């Protein structure tokens, strides 16, 4: 199971999401994140991914872990991942488009769930409400459909 990160920058009642332009998740809005490299600490990987994907610089100490979610892709186990979710409220720089992501700020009341992974509507509102979560999601149809899930506040 791959270790991955997801960072959600939060400011003035808005959350920074980015449209994935290529690769896994292409065409979906998501937070910034990706794979943890061999030997890399998870918060450092989260900060690195945010910098690479949208140009925001955050110190790992300013990244707050708020979730642990395991994803099982029943028809493609090579995609299975254990995602560490972080909120970021302090950073330097302005969000910029990269080759991989096109960032946009969304009011927390106007999140485009219909253009995101289907699991996001189940856990993202909890995280944005200040809760810490853990859970798992089982996907079928190449991640297009949830076959089962469990999400809870911790």
List pLDDT tens digits, range 89-101. Answer: 999 999 999 999 9
Predicted local distance difference test score (pLDDT) of residue 22: 92
Map 74-123 to HEC letters: CCCHHHCEEEEEEEECCCECCCCCCCCEEEEEEECCCCCHHHECCCHHHH
Nearest to 9 by CA among 117, 120, 92, 101: 92
Hey, is 128 helix, strand or coil?
helix
List pLDDT tens digits, range 24-50. Answer: 889 999 999 999 999 999 999 999 999
Q: Please tell me the pTM assigned to this model.
A: 0.94
């Amino acid at each position: 199971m791959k270790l991955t990160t997801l960072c959600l920058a939060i400011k003035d009642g808005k959350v920074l999401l980015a449209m994935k332009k290529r690769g896994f998740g292409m065409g979906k809005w998501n937070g910034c994140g990706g794979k943890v490299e061999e030997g890399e600490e998870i918060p450092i990987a989260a900060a690195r991914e945010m910098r690479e994907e949208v140009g925001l610089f955050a110190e790992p100490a300013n990244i707050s872990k708020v979730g642990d979610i395991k994803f099982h892709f029943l028809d493609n186990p090579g995609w299975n991942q254990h995602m560490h979710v972080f909120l970021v409220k302090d950073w330097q720089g302005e969000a910029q488009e990269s080759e991989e992501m096109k960032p946009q700020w969304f009011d927390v009341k106007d999140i485009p769930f219909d253009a995101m992974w289907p699991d996001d509507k189940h856990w993202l509102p909890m995280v944005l409400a200040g809760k810490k979560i853990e859970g798992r999601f089982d996907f079928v149809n190449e991640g297009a459909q949830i076959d089962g899930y469990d999400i809870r506040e911790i």
